[in-house]
Structure 1
Amino acid sequence: MTSTAPPGQTPVNERTSPSQAVGGPTPLEEYEASSSTRPPWLLTMTEVKLLGVAGVGFFLDAYDLFIINPVTTMLQYRLYGGNKLPPNLEGFVKAGANIGSVIGQFSFGYAADALGRKAVYGKELMLILLATVLTMTTPTGSLSPDNSLIYLGIFRILLGVGVGGDYPMSASVTSDRANLRKRGTLLAFIFSNQGWGSLIGSLVTIIVLLCYKHVMLDEGKVSKVDGVWRIIVGISLIPGFATLYQRLTMPESQRYKDAVQAEKNRDRDLEKEIRKLEKNQNVETQAMGAHAQPESEDSSSTDSPIGEEKRGEKETAAASADVPEEEQAPEVIATKKDKAHIGEFLAYFSEWRHAKILIGTSVCWFLLDIAFYGINLNQNVVLQQIHFDGSNETEPWTKLFRVSTGGIIITALGFVPGYYASIFFIEILGRKWIQIQGFLLAALFLGILAGRFTELGTVGFIVCFALLQFFFNFGANTTTYCYPAEVFPTRFRAFAHGISAAAGKAGAIISALAFNELSSSVGTPVVLWIFFGVCILGALFTLLLPEVKGRDPDLVYAQEIREDRIRRREMEGK
């Protein structure tokens, strides 16, 4: 989008910085240019606390993703005498959390924009905790095997509602509090908790199995596996309860409170409003413990872990009279997020310039999750290729332990390193470049696996698969989460993020339900070739997206509003 602007001001487009919009450096940019040279990934203690609270949902998401594979294997011995689970019920149990996630992403995303972050944040974690407890109560001893799986799958759907709700909530809460220099890094840090969730899930499984080794292996009490999977599921309650209070008591961000005050402000001077917006953003920077003195972890020592937003409560109150939206300053409309109803959302995205971005974020996430979850929800195929599927083991405990060991190999080699590569390079390379190269390199390694599936040796397969996982995570798996939190204006951010995330989970559901059936009918290499094509499409759809490094979507939206008003006045003048 290129546009005209009043004399002395540069039009705001997707490549225009806030400084260009006002004809000179903003206070935030001046600070960022002159302050400490510490890289964005070196965090202050306040930021660490924020990320610890906001990241727990993604930790639990990945923890659940990992443990459902060994848990379903354990249920084979508890419910079916070691035989495989019915394919339809196994698919239901594995896809249950993703089905619930779609519901949670839509509902919590809309609620966060309509009601405010504070009113909603923490409720999704309460659902996760409740569903986890109910999952542990699965009455395997009193229900039939099939009904036990149905019971488990139903409460995994509820678990998914909470996990899905965490996507737009944590993304919006973090993006609202982040300055431009660190925004992508903070979001990537939050999402990296998926890597730790997978790693801890595999470690917990191994440790609990070791504790049960004597009773299961030496004494032959295989039924005790019922206790193993319940303990593994229940341990996820610890980080959830540890952060629940902080979520429920987190105040609104300073940006939110200023936006509500500004909604009643009659002052419509453009330059004054833009500078006020940027000044508020600078306040956020100081509140996050990143002031130019240089950055000190103790600079907000008087604040609560997430309560630094209270610094701005004594700002000058705006005029109390209500002002019609048509008469409000563009910057007011761009940043307010109370009562962003569905009609406003639809009006905004009815324009192609906005709709194409939502299509891009949603389709890219959808395509990514088809391949990513198709691989990671069906790791039995991978474990078989690296000889860690336990197929040669006769004892149930030995098989379970070997499967868990193979899982930790996969996680350690690809998951965690990929996430941290994104953290270190996201502010250097930008989101668009990382996403495109991630899709293309994932396609490359999927093509190698598909073409040489039966010829690769164990070492070759492990190396190729580890690189595939690395470029999933140093690529689209991270950036598809970051993009919606950075590209959409505050007013529509949470709901747009929820829609994008729900599209991703829809891809995960399709892949989880179809992978096994397709593999048995056409062969695993053909399925991998399908994933190859999906990744190529993902790289192409990324071209719909602007680069968001250093881009303030609220200023872009404010400029669009101002241009529309000028255009309407010119039309009326004619």
Structure 2
Amino acid sequence: MPPRVLSRLDTARTQYYHFKAIVVAGMGIFTDSYDLFCIPPIMRLLGPIYYKSHSNRIRPATEAAMLAVPLLGTVIGQLLFGWLGDRVGRRRVYGITLMLMMVSSIGCGFSMGTTQARVLATLGFFRFLLGVGIGGDYPLSATIMSEFANKRKRGAFIAAVFSMQGIGILAGSVVTMVVCRIFRRIDPSTNEADVAWRLILMLGVVPTALTYYWRMMMPETARYTALVELNVAQAARDMERVLDVSLSQIAEDHSFSPSPPSYPLFSRQFFLLHGRDLLACSATWLLLDIVFYGSNLCQPHIFEKYFDDSEKITAFEAAFKVAKLQAIVACCSTIPGYFAAIFLIDRVGRVRIQAVGFILMAGLYFSCAYLFVPHHTGKLFTILYVMTFFFANCGPNTTTFIVPAELFPARFRSTCHGIAGAVGKVGAMIGAVGFLEALQGGLKINVVLIIFGGICVVGMAVTLLLTRETMGRSLEENEKESEDEPVQGKCFS
């Protein structure tokens, strides 16, 4: 039997602290998407500044590097801070990742150098550090929210945290559009573009900084304190501080000592009990991110006619158009997809949403490949292409973030989420950089879209064959099921 404080957490009613935790945890995800997805319009500002001899267009290799560097940092951050979250505690590491993101965002804006190469190298360095902080925030945010939530609404709470990704994309686009309009009125030329792109990057730190105090005041999760540190009494005292419950309701009637861990991480027994779950989480996240980041970060290349610079528009106008498209996609498809996931995740289940999302994305990508005509993106193509983001977010993009935070024991939870996320970000690098390289090599967009559709079909198959359903069960019940132990009161609804 789990400690009483954990049972009380599983059945606790939804209250103010849950919503506070969503905002605090979600700000890291907000910063992630703001900084990663504001790069495409910023590339339009960098071109006239540093590549005047190349028709004011940034080199494809440089653009690919600016996309890949933070993603590489994210891989390292997920592995490192995921492991630290299990070793020294979620709360102790949580503030470090947020501070790293804030310092790196400001550093990006102050990228200095006497030559073009040095400025871009400095920017790349700070974006790498930013990626490390972002990567560390992923497993910690998901794990903390899963361990604070009740089992009835746990999926919706974690999905709400992840929905801040859509808000971050929209915020980055809006900030870019506003900054471009202001600077265009001040000086229609590109003389002030060097200030504009720095300002856009630094403004992303503001909402994150506002939640830093709350993040530092959060107690350690009761599951980590009780099951990893084996201090049930302290876990009860911590939860009394934040939940509407008295200590007498969650304290043990007698001395309670949880059993210490019986096997280490990456041992033979670990792989026998959790290897399938880790494979399922990592594989589906990898496949999803190849498609999601490849399609999202490379929108200007798919809608080439929309961004045609033959009219000799200014850098501010070009960046504005890229940001405007991102904002439209976010409002019409991305954000509604997240909201749909919040509504459905604890009603339909993770496996069904993920499998259906993959197969609908596949159908849409195949249809887009058939309809796509170079330099002429028609209305039907645009509608179908935008809908892929809805079913990604009301599907595998959200569930791949949720499921790793629910399947593994408390002492491995953050590490395993970090491993799955790191594998996913390797897929993001393949999708974003590979897509650009493929286009430069002459591969047709139709073929790329067909490849995306095929990857989604594989994702559906992996989901149905390997992924376990976690809806309606406590985190401890999910762990026991993987060990094939009988669990009383298990909920399969």
TM-score in terms of structure 2 length: 0.88
Deviation sequence 1:284-330 (CA, Å, 0-9, x none): 9xx6xxxxxxxxxxxx9xx5xx577995898359769xxxxxxx86x
Mapped to 2, the partners of 1:364 and 1:128 lie a distance apart of 27
1:42-191 alignment, distance < 5 Å? 44-81=15-52, 82-139=55-112, 142-191=113-162
Give me the whole-angstrom Cα distance separating, in 2, the residues matched to 1:130 and 1:494. 24
Partner of 2:203: 235
Q: CA deviation at 1:524?
A: 1.3
Taking the aligned partners of 2:412 and 2:378, their CA distance within structure 1 comes to: 48
The percent identity for this pair of structures is 36
- Aligned mate of 2:212, from 237, 244, 247: 244
Q: Does 1:477 align with 2:448?
A: no
Question: 2:17–2:243: 8 Å Cα contact kept in structure 1?
Answer: no
The alignment partner of 1:138 has SS state of coil
Q: 1:511 to 1:246 in 2, by over 3 A?
A: same
1:491 is paired with a residue whose SS is coil
Letter in 2 for 1:459: K
Look up the equivalent residue of 1:437 and give its one-letter code: V
User: How do 1:24-423 and structure 2 match up within 5 A?
Assistant: 44-81=15-52, 82-139=55-112, 142-217=113-188, 220=189, 222-259=190-227, 262=230, 303=241, 311=247, 315-316=251-252, 332-333=259-260, 343-351=264-272, 353-385=273-305, 387-388=306-307, 390-423=309-342
Deviation at 1:214, TM superposition (A): 1.9
Matched, 1:523 2:455: no
Residues in 2 aligned to 1:346 and 1:123: alpha-carbon distance in whole angstroms: 29
Shift of 1:393: 4.3
SS in 2 for 1:60: helix
Q: SS state of the match for residue 211, structure 1?
A: helix
List per-residue Cα deviations over 1:241-266 (Å, max 9, x = no partner). 1111222232112333333675799x
- Assess if the C-alpha contact under 8 Å between 1:261 and 1:318 holds in 2: no
CA contact (8 A) 2:104 2:130 kept: yes
- The 3 A distance-change label for structure 1 pair 436 and 312 is farther
Determine if the alignment matches structure 1 residue 551 to structure 2 residue 473. Answer: yes
Q: 1:490-501 to 2 correspondence within 5 Å? A: 490-501=410-421
Q: Structure 1 pair 380/559, CA: closer, same or farther in 2 (3 Å)?
A: closer
Paired residues of 1:251 and 1:307 also in contact (CA < 8 A): no
Deviation of residue 147 (structure 1)? 2.8
The residue type equivalent to 1:406 in the other structure is L
Instruction: Answer yes or no: is the 8 Å Cα contact 2:228–2:410 preserved in 1.
Output: no
Count of residue pairs brought into register by the alignment: 476
Query: Which residue does the alignment assign to 1:8?
Result: none
Of residues 510-519 and 477-486 in structure 1, the stretch that sits farther from structure 2 once superposed is 510-519
The whole-number CA distance in structure 1 between the counterparts of 2:277 and 2:199 is 43
Alignment of 1:433-444 (within 5 A): 433-444=352-363
Q: Structure 1 pair 316/202, CA: closer, same or farther in 2 (3 Å)?
A: same
Q: Deviations over 1:400-431 (max 9, x none)?
A: 32222222112212110100000011111100
Letter in 1 for 2:321: R
CA contact (8 A) 2:95 2:216 kept: yes
In the alignment, the residues of structure 1 paired with residue 271 and residue 288 of structure 2 have an alpha-carbon distance, to the nearest angstrom, of 25
Where does residue 425 of structure 2 map in the other structure? 505
Cα distance change of structure 1 residues 391 and 169 upon mapping to structure 2, 3 Å threshold? farther
Going from structure 1 to structure 2, the CA distance change for 1:93 and 1:503 (only over 3 Å counts) comes to: same
How far does residue 470 in structure 1 lie from its aligned partner after superposition?
0.5
Distance 2:231 2:108 in 1: 45
Instruction: State the alpha-carbon separation in 1 of the partners of residues 150 and 269 from structure 2.
Output: 25
Per-residue Cα deviation, 1:513-543 (whole angstroms, up to 9, x for no partner): 2111212322111111111111111111112
Q: Which amino acid aligns with 1:399?
A: A
Structure 1 unaligned segments of length 5 or more: list them: 1-17, 20-25, 36-42, 266-276, 288-299, 321-327, 565-574
Structure 2 Cα separation of the partners of residues 92 and 502 of structure 1: 18
Cα deviations by residue, 1:463-486 (Å, 9 ceiling, x for unpaired)? 111211111111100000001011
Instruction: Tell me which residue corresponds to 2:491.
Output: none
| Aligned counterparts of 1:559 and 1:367: Cα–Cα separation in 2 | 26
Native 8 Å contact 2:109 2:201 kept in 1:
yes
Counterpart residue type for residue 459 of structure 2: G
| TM-superposition CA deviations, 1:2-31 (whole Å, max 9, x none) | xxxxxxxxxxxxxxxx99xxxxxx8888x6
Higher mean displacement: 54-63 or 208-217: 208-217
Letter in 1 for 2:179: V
3-state SS of the aligned residue for 2:111?
coil
Give yes or no for contact 2:71–2:426 (8 Å, CA) kept in 1.
yes
Report the Cα distance in structure 1 between the residues aligned to 2:381 and 2:44, rounded to whole angstroms: 23
- Distance (Å, rounded) in 2 between the aligned partners of 1:223 and 1:310: 62
Distance change (3 Å), C-alpha of 1:201 and 1:560:
closer
What is the CA distance between 1:46 and its match in structure 2?
Answer: 2.1
Alpha-carbon shift at residue 556 of structure 1 (Å): 4.5
Structure 2 letter corresponding to 1:181: R
Task: State the distance in 1 between where 2:270 and 2:156 align.
Answer: 27
Q: Deviations over 1:51-73 (max 9, x none)?
A: 11000011111111221111111
Distance 1:347 1:310, change over 3 A: farther
Counterparts in 2 of 1:394 and 1:547: CA distance versus 1, 3 Å: same
Pair 216,172 (structure 1): closer, same or farther in 2 beyond 3 Å? same
Distance 1:552 1:316, change over 3 A: closer
Alignment-mate amino acid for residue 199 of structure 1: L
Change (3 A) 1:78 1:106: same
Whether the 8 Å CA contact 1:253–1:309 is kept in 2: the answer is no
Asked if the contact 1:438–1:471 (Cα under 8 Å) also holds between the matched residues in 2, the reply is yes
CA distance in 2, matches of 1:151, 1:420: 38
- Counterpart residue identity of residue 103, structure 2: L
RMSD of aligned Cα (Å): 3.0
In the alignment, is residue 540 of structure 1 matched against residue 461 of structure 2?
A: yes
Report which of the two structures shows the higher radius of gyration computed on alpha carbons.
Answer: 1
Q: What's the CA shift for 1:155?
A: 1.2
CA distances 1:307-359 after superposition (whole Å, capped 9, x unpaired): 77995898359769xxxxxxx86xx34xx7xxx99x434344320x4211110
Q: In structure 2, what is the Cα distance between the partners aligned to 1:376 and 1:358?
A: 26
**Normalization by structure 1: what TM-score?**
0.77
1:247 & 1:264 partners in 2: Cα distance? 23
